[in-house]
Structure 1
Amino acid sequence: MTDAPSFPRMYARTLRFTLGTPRNLQVTPDGSRVLFVRTPSGTSRTGALWSYDVADGQERLIADPAQLLGDSGEELSAEERARRERSRETAGGIVGYTTDATASVAAFALSGAIWVAEVAGEGARRLPSNGPVIDPHIDPTGRTVAYANDGALRVIDVDGASDRALVEPDGDEVVWGQAEFVAAEEMERYRGFWWAPDGESLLVERYDNTPVPVWYVADPANPESEPVRHRYPAAGSTNADVSLWHITLDGTRRRLDWDDDAYPYLTRVGWSAFGGPLLQVMSRDQRAVQIRRFDVESGSTSLVRELHDDTWLDLFVGVPAYAPDGRLVTVEPSEDTNRVALDGEPISPVGLQVRRVLAIDDRGVLVTANDDPTELHLVRIGLDGSVNRLTAGGGVHNGSAAGATMVVVRSALDVGASSITVYREGAEIGQISNLAEDPGFRPNVSSVTVGDRDLHAAVLFPRDHVRGARRLPVLMDPYGGPHALRNVKSSRGFLLPQWLADQGFCVIVSDGRGTPGRGPAWDRSVRDNFVATLDDQVDALQGVAHAYPDDVDTGHVAITGWSFGGYLAGMAVLRRPDIFHTAVAGAPVTDQRLYDTFYTERYLGHPDEQPEVYDRNSLGELAGALERPLMIIHGMVDDNVVVAHSLRLSSALLAAGRPHEVLPLTGVTHMTPQETVAENLQLLQVEFIKRGLGIG
C-alpha cells in the first residue's frame, strides 16, 4: 500500500487546490452558453476548453489537449514561459482563449501553435502558423487571428490561409504586439494588441528595450549553461521605449501621438463598439493620467479626461471604456472611495470600494466591489446610478454576465471548494462542476478586528486545540504588501495556514495599511513608509494576544512570508527583535533599488530624488541589528525578485558577523510549483521555526 501524500505535497500538486476548478468563465453575448477552462481532475495541470449549455444544463468538451496533441505532449517557448511567469500561470494545456464578438468561434494557443474551434461543435483544428505563437486573439468578426511571434505581429485567416507578418522588429531589442515587462508584471496589462470592432485593423504596442539595463540570470547549479540575458528596469533606471500604432490588415501603419515624455507609461488600451479607441497614459511619478481618444480618420489623439493626485493614481482593470450611450466609464477616487464615474461624475455609492470592472453593457457596469475588505461581491451599477447587489452573504464572489445569464463563483469560509452557479433572469438554473481535490479538512478560522486602525486579523489554532488549555507559540503569516489581500473569507486561502497551525502554532494572518478594499487614503498611507506595514503586524499580534490571553504565547513569536511577505519577515527580526523571535524570509525584496520602476517608484518615489527613503525601507543597513534566527530562501533563476536581493543581505549579515541561514532553490523562479521542492520547503521552514523558538 502506498502512503497518502502529505498535505504540503498535495498543496503543491493541486496548485493550492485550484486545479479542477472552472476558470476564465465567459457568458456568450446571447446568454446561451458559459465558456470556461477546466483541468480534467484536481491533480491534472492540463486545461481544456468547455461549454455549459444554459438551456439543458449540460457540460460539453470543446477542445481537449490530450486528443489534440496525442503522445507528442506540450512544448512551450521561452517567451511563453516568461509570459506565464508574469501572470503567475502555473497550469498547462489551454490556459486562456478568445472569441469573436458572437462567441461562435474560439481561438487559443496550445504547445506553441494556434488552434480554432467552433463553440457549438467539438474538437479544434490547428492553423499552420509561424510558431512559436504568443497570445493569439481572434478578431471580432471571426475571420482572422492575430498573434505575436519572435518580436513580430502576424495574422492568419481562420481557414489557415495567408499567414503573414503585419509588422516585424526594426531593431534587435524591438518587440511588437506584446506587453513590456512592467506592464505585465505591475499594471495587470498582459496584452500588446487590440482588434478594431470591424476586424480591419488593430492597435499594436511597439516597445524597444534598448534603454533598459541588461541583467543576467544564471543557474549556478548548471555551470555549463550560459546566463540568460534579461532586460530589467530597476527603480531609477530607464524603462522601455513604448509606443502605440494603428495598423491595417494591408500593413499600413500610423503612430498614435501623445506627450510620451510627460506620460511614458501606456497603462490601458481599449476599442469597443460603443466608441472610438481609447488609450490611457500615465506620468512616471504616477500622479497624472491622461485618457485620450484616437481618431482613425485623422490619425490624431484628443484628450478626453485628465486625472491628478498628489500621491499616486491607481489602475483598474476594465476601464477606461465607453458606455453604450457614449459616456466615458472610469473608476476614480471620490470621498475616500474608489467609485464608478460617467464622464467624471461618480455614480456608485460612497463606501462601496470598486475593485475592478468586469463588463459594460446596456444594463450598466458590472463590477467586483466591497464594503468589508474581507469580502468581495458582484454589483451592477446602472447607467442611471442605480445599484443592484447581485451577491450576498459572507464570501468572495466573482463571475461573468451577458444578457439575462450570469455565472457566479463563490468561495467562503463555510464551504470547501468554490461553487460555480449559473443564473437566468436572477433565478438559479444550474451548477458547473468543480473537480478540485478535497484537502480532507476545512480551516477553522476566527476573525477579529484589533487596534486603533481596526485591523482585520484571521486567527487559526490547531484543530485539536482546546481553548484555554495551553498557550501556543505564534506564527505570523502575512503578505502585508500593497494591493494584495490574504485575509479574505475564502477557506482555500487558509488551507496552508491551518496546516501550519496544526504543527502546534497559533497562526495569525492580517492585512495592514496599503492593502486594497479600504479606500484611497488607506492605500496611500504607505507612501515612503513600508515600515508601517510592520507596525500593523505588531498591532495585529498584540490585539490577538489581548483577545486570546490564555491561548497565545507572545514570548515565542515567529514570522514567515514570501516576496513582500519575505521582506516583511526579514524586517521584523531586524527592526523588532523584542517582538519577533525567529523569521523565514522567502524571495524577499531586501534592496528597494533592485526592484522595478513602476512598482517601487509608486510607493517610494525616485531613488535619485529621495535616496534616504530607499535606505530607510531597505534591509541591508539593518544587518548589524540581527540577533534572532533568520532563514533566507530564494529561487536562483527568479527574474522578478532577483536572487541578488538575498545574496546582498546575506553578505551584509556576514560582514556584520551575524549568523543566519540561506536556502538556495536551484532552477526555481519566483514561483515554486515543483511539488517535491514545495513540500520539503514547508517541512524545513516548520523545523527551522521550531528550532529558532526553542520548542519541540
Structure 2
Amino acid sequence: MTDSFPRRQARTRRFTLGAPRGAVVSPDGGRVAFLRSRGGTDPVTCLWSLDLDSGEERLVADPRALEAAGNEEDLPPQERARRERLREQAGGIVAYATDRPVTMAAFALSGRLYVAEFASGLSPRLIDTPPGVVDPRPDPQGRRVAFVAGGALYVHDLVPRLTSLLVRPDDEDATWGLADFVAAEEMGRMRGFWWAPDGERLLAARVDDAPVTRWHIADPANPDREPVPVAYPAAGTANAEVTLHLVALDGLRVPVTWDAATYEYVVDVSWTSHDLLLTVQSRDQRALRVLRVDTGTGATSEVAAIDDEDWVDIVPGVPTYLGDALVTAGVADGANRLCVGGEPVTPKSLQVRALLDVDGDTMLFSAFDEDPTATRLWTWSRADGVRAVTPERGVHTGRLVGGTLLVSRASLDSEGTTTTATLPTGATRTITSFADPAGLDPRLEITTAGARGLSTALLLPSWWEPGTPLPVLMDPYGGPHAQRVVAARNAHLTSQWFAEQGFAVVVVDGRGTPGRGPAFERAVHGDLAQPVLDDQVEALQDLATRHPDLDLDRVGIRGWSFGGYLAALAVLRRPDVFHAAVAGAPVTDWALYDTHYTERYLGTPDGNPDAYARSSLFADAAAARTPHRPLLLVHGLADDNVVAAHTLRLSSALLAAGRPHSVLPLSGVTHMTPQEVVAENLLLLQVEFLRDALGVPAPPV
C-alpha cells in the first residue's frame, strides 16, 4: 500500500531530504563541497565533494560510519537552539566550515569535533576536545579550528594536536562565540566569532543574557520535569548585551568600541583582506552604520550610514568590497538597490534580495524584476553593467567563485531543485539530487488579484469539473519576509493536497511580503493586521468574479506562525467573509513577541500602544461580531519562538467572551513539527476540522 501524501511529506521533510545544499566552491572554481543525505527518506546528512573537471563525486564524511554519530544524536543545548533558529529538520552533518582554499572542513557530530580533508580520501579525524562542541570553523589557512564548548571559545592547533582555551565565560549568563537570540532568529546572523584573514586571531562576541527577562517553558505532559528557563527579549524589554573583542591566540583581548547605546544591534561582521567591517543598527532600526575597526586599538570609524524613516532592511552579503570600493545596499528611488562606493548601480526595475558573491570585478546577486513570484540571478560589473544570469522563470540562488557559476533552481516545470555548475569553459556539471518525487502535480494558476495586483495562486482538485461549486480554503502566510506565491512547484504541494480533499485553495501575498519593493513592504508599518487582512479579502473577492465556482458561502483559512495569526484574525474580525479557521502557532499579542521583529513594524509597546492594540487579537476576541465562526488553535508547548502563552491567553479571552473554539496542544513540539507522526496527523486533523466546519463532503475516490 502506498503511503499517503502527508506521511511521505513528513518522512521526506517536505521532499528536501536527498537534495544537495550548503555548497561551497573552491577559489579556483574547480571543486564543490556540499551536504546531502543518501536518499529521499534518509535524514542523516553527509558531506560530499565534486571535482568539476572530472565529474568525480566523493563521499567525504558519513555520520553513520563515525563512532560519535550512533543511532541517536546527543546535541549540546546551544546546538539544539541553533538548529531551532535555522528551522533545521535533518540530522547528521547539517553544517560545516572550510579553510579558504577548501582543502579541509570541520564539523560537529553529537558535540564532538571532526576534521576532514577533501583530497586525501582518508576518513575524517576525531579531535580530542572538551565535550559539547558547537560551530567549529577552520582558520583561513587551515592550520587551526576554533569552536565553542560550554559557552567558552577554544582553538585546536591541528599539527601539534593541542587544544587551547582562549576565553571562558566570566558570568553564568555570559557566553563567548555564539549568536544572541535575536541575531539568530531575526537578523540571519548565526555565528559569534570570525577569523582574521591570516589566522592569527579572532573577533569574538560576548553575549550577556543577564538583562533579558526570563520566561519558562514547561512540559505539562511531564509535570515531574523542571520548566526550562529561556532568556526571551520580548518587545519593549531589554535585549542581550553584545560586545565584541579581538582575541589573540594567547588569549589577549582588545575590546571593540562603538556607540553601543545608540546602535545596540550587532548585525554582522566582515573580515576581508581590506578591512574588518562591523555593521550595527539602532534599536528602532531606522539607522544602520558600517564601521571600520582598527585591529590594533579596537576603535571604530564610520564608513557608511544608511537611514530610513520606517526601517532599514538587513540585506545578506553586504557590506563587502568590490576592488577598493565599498558595496552596500539600501532604498533609492523607490527600489531596493546595490550601491558601489555610495552610488546605486542596480536599476530601479530590480528589487535586490541578496548579494551572493563577489568574484574578481563581478558581483552576483538575486533580485525580483516585474514578476515578484520569480527570484532571478544577475551579475554587475563596471565593464558589463547588469546582466541576467537566469532569465527563465523560477526561484534561484547561487554562487560565483573562480569564474564557476553554481545555480540552484526550482521551477514550475519540475519537482524539487536542480543544482548545476557552469565552468569558465562553458562545460556544465549537475549535482545529483536523491530527493523523492512528490507524485503530486499541482493544478495551479498563478495570477494577480485586486486593485493592487496582488500575487495570487489558485489550486483546484485534479478531479474537479467546471460548473461544480467548490468551498474555498485560504492558505496564506501573509506576513513580512516570506512569500508563498512563488514560481516553484514544491512550494505548492501542501496546498494542492488540501485541494484534492475538496477545496479550491487560494494563496495570496499581500502588503508586507517581499518582491514588490519598499513601499509595498512598508505598508504594514504601524499596523500588522488591517492591511494584511484587507488584501486577503480583496484578492478572494476579485478572484471569485473570474471563477464563479468559488463558493464564497464556505470559506476557510489556515496558517502557521504569522499565517496562524492571520487565520485567527480573519474569523474574529471578518466573520462575514471567513467561516472557519485553523490557526497554528499564532502570535496573538505582539507584546509577547521578540524585540527586533516586532519593534521594526510597531515600535515599542510603551512608545506606540495604539499600534499594538490595532494589531492584537484580544480586542477582536471580545468584540460583539457575529456569527461566531469555528476556530481551531494549534500550538507546540515547547515552542520558544512563539510561546504557547499566545494561544493560551487568546483561548482565555475567547472563553471570557463566550466564544466557542478548540485548542490542540502539541506536547514536546517546538515552532517546527519535524516529528513524522505529528506532521502527518496534523494535516489530517486540519482537513477533518475544516470539512466539519464548512460542510465539505469527502472527495471522490
Fold agreement, TM-score > 0.5? yes
CA deviations 1:296-322 (Å, max 9, x no partner) are 123311111111111100001111112
Q: CA deviation at 1:405?
A: 1.4
Indicate conservation of the 8 Å contact 2:173/2:210, yes or no: yes
Structure 2 CA distance, aligned partners of 1:47 and 1:363? 35
Q: CA deviation at 1:695?
A: 2.5
Query: Is residue 222 of structure 1 aligned with residue 222 of structure 2?
Result: yes
CA deviations 1:24-62 (Å, max 9, x no partner) are 012111111111100000011111111111112121111
Question: Which region of structure 1 is more displaced relative to structure 2, 371-380 or 563-572?
Answer: 371-380
Indicate conservation of the 8 Å contact 1:63/1:117, yes or no: yes
1:192-231 alignment, distance < 5 Å:
192-231=192-231
Query: Which residue in 1 is equivalent to 2:77?
Result: 78
Find the residue that maps to 1:266 and give its secondary structure.
strand
Report the residue type matching 2:242 in the other structure: V
Find the residue that maps to 2:225 and give its secondary structure.
coil
Query: Which residue in 2 is equivalent to 1:540?
Result: 539
Structure 2 CA distance, aligned partners of 1:103 and 1:276? 22
Query: Which residue in 2 is equivalent to 1:133?
Result: 133
Structure 2 CA distance, aligned partners of 1:426 and 1:363? 18
Q: CA deviation at 1:473?
A: 0.3
Report the residue type matching 2:679 in the other structure: A
CA deviations 1:200-227 (Å, max 9, x no partner) are 0111111110000000000100111100
Q: CA deviation at 1:385?
A: 6.7
Structure 1 CA distance, aligned partners of 2:190 and 2:100? 20
Structure 1 CA distance, aligned partners of 2:160 and 2:649? 52
1:77-226 alignment, distance < 5 Å:
77-122=76-121, 123-159=123-159, 161-226=161-226
Indicate conservation of the 8 Å contact 1:347/1:385, yes or no: no
Structure 2 CA distance, aligned partners of 1:675 and 1:564? 23
Flag structure 2 segments of 5+ consecutive residues without an equivalent: none
Find the residue that maps to 1:448 and give its secondary structure.
strand
Query: Which residue in 1 is equivalent to 2:64?
Result: 66
Structure 2 CA distance, aligned partners of 1:172 and 1:299? 26
Query: Is residue 267 of structure 1 aligned with residue 254 of structure 2?
Result: no
CA deviations 1:105-139 (Å, max 9, x no partner) are 11111121111111113321111111211111110
CA deviations 1:245-269 (Å, max 9, x no partner) are 1111111111111111111001111
Report the residue type matching 2:75 in the other structure: L
Q: CA deviation at 1:160?
A: 6.6
Indicate conservation of the 8 Å contact 2:632/2:663, yes or no: yes
Query: Which residue in 1 is equivalent to 2:673?
Result: 672
CA deviations 1:555-591 (Å, max 9, x no partner) are 1100000000000000000110010000000000001
Flag structure 1 segments of 5+ consecutive residues without an equivalent: none
Report the residue type matching 2:687 in the other structure: V
Indicate conservation of the 8 Å contact 1:127/1:159, yes or no: no
Indicate conservation of the 8 Å contact 1:278/1:292, yes or no: yes
Structure 2 CA distance, aligned partners of 1:490 and 1:426? 29
Report the residue type matching 1:239 in the other structure: N
Structure 1 CA distance, aligned partners of 2:483 and 2:586? 18
Indicate conservation of the 8 Å contact 2:69/2:110, yes or no: no
Task: Report the RMSD for the aligned CA atoms in angstroms.
Answer: 1.2
Q: CA deviation at 1:9?
A: 1.1
Query: Which residue in 2 is equivalent to 1:382?
Result: 381
Structure 2 CA distance, aligned partners of 1:408 and 1:523? 27
Question: Which region of structure 1 is more displaced relative to structure 2, 383-392 or 369-378?
Answer: 383-392
Question: Which region of structure 1 is more displaced relative to structure 2, 589-598 or 346-355?
Answer: 346-355
Structure 2 CA distance, aligned partners of 1:527 and 1:185? 20
1:4-83 alignment, distance < 5 Å:
4-69=2-67, 72-73=70-71, 74-83=73-82
Find the residue that maps to 2:162 and give its secondary structure.
coil
Structure 2 CA distance, aligned partners of 1:612 and 1:436? 48
Question: Which region of structure 1 is more displaced relative to structure 2, 440-449 or 668-677?
Answer: 440-449
Report the residue type matching 1:207 in the other structure: V
Q: CA deviation at 1:529?
A: 1.2
Query: Which residue in 2 is equivalent to 1:646?
Result: 647
Q: CA deviation at 1:616?
A: 1.3
Query: Is residue 528 of structure 1 aligned with residue 526 of structure 2?
Result: yes
Indicate conservation of the 8 Å contact 1:481/1:565, yes or no: yes
Indicate conservation of the 8 Å contact 2:68/2:112, yes or no: no
Report the residue type matching 1:22 in the other structure: P
Query: Is residue 692 of structure 1 aligned with residue 693 of structure 2?
Result: yes
Indicate conservation of the 8 Å contact 1:116/1:158, yes or no: no
Report the residue type matching 1:83 in the other structure: R
Structure 1 CA distance, aligned partners of 2:287 and 2:533? 29
Structure 1 CA distance, aligned partners of 2:341 and 2:584? 44
Find the residue that maps to 1:623 and give its secondary structure.
helix
Find the residue that maps to 1:37 and give its secondary structure.
strand
Q: CA deviation at 1:162?
A: 1.9
Structure 2 CA distance, aligned partners of 1:131 and 1:373? 46
Q: CA deviation at 1:71?
A: 7.3
Structure 2 CA distance, aligned partners of 1:187 and 1:77? 23
Structure 1 CA distance, aligned partners of 2:298 and 2:26? 33
Indicate conservation of the 8 Å contact 1:27/1:406, yes or no: no
Indicate conservation of the 8 Å contact 1:146/1:156, yes or no: yes
Indicate conservation of the 8 Å contact 1:152/1:167, yes or no: yes
Query: Which residue in 2 is equivalent to 1:613?
Result: 611
Find the residue that maps to 1:521 and give its secondary structure.
helix
Find the residue that maps to 2:67 and give its secondary structure.
helix
Indicate conservation of the 8 Å contact 2:359/2:403, yes or no: no
Indicate conservation of the 8 Å contact 1:290/1:307, yes or no: yes
Question: Which region of structure 1 is more displaced relative to structure 2, 500-509 or 513-522?
Answer: 513-522
Structure 1 CA distance, aligned partners of 2:142 and 2:644? 45
Structure 2 CA distance, aligned partners of 1:203 and 1:517? 35
Indicate conservation of the 8 Å contact 2:68/2:110, yes or no: no
Structure 2 CA distance, aligned partners of 1:70 and 1:520? 48
Query: Which residue in 2 is equivalent to 1:363?
Result: 361
Structure 2 CA distance, aligned partners of 1:442 and 1:30? 40
TM-score (normalizing by structure 2):
0.97
Indicate conservation of the 8 Å contact 1:127/1:160, yes or no: no
Indicate conservation of the 8 Å contact 2:254/2:298, yes or no: yes
Is the alpha carbon distance of 1:81 and 1:71 closer, same or farther for their aligned partners in structure 2, counting shifts above 3 Å? closer
Report the residue type matching 1:576 in the other structure: R
Structure 1 CA distance, aligned partners of 2:583 and 2:160? 50
Query: Which residue in 2 is equivalent to 1:321?
Result: 320
CA deviations 1:268-288 (Å, max 9, x no partner) are 111012x11000111100001
Structure 1 CA distance, aligned partners of 2:200 and 2:252? 11
Structure 1 CA distance, aligned partners of 2:507 and 2:204? 42
Q: CA deviation at 1:527?
A: 0.2
State the 4+ residue runs in structure 1 displaced beyond 3 angstroms. none
Structure 1 CA distance, aligned partners of 2:108 and 2:69? 18
Indicate conservation of the 8 Å contact 1:62/1:121, yes or no: no
Report the residue type matching 1:378 in the other structure: L
Question: Which region of structure 1 is more displaced relative to structure 2, 257-266 or 290-299?
Answer: 290-299
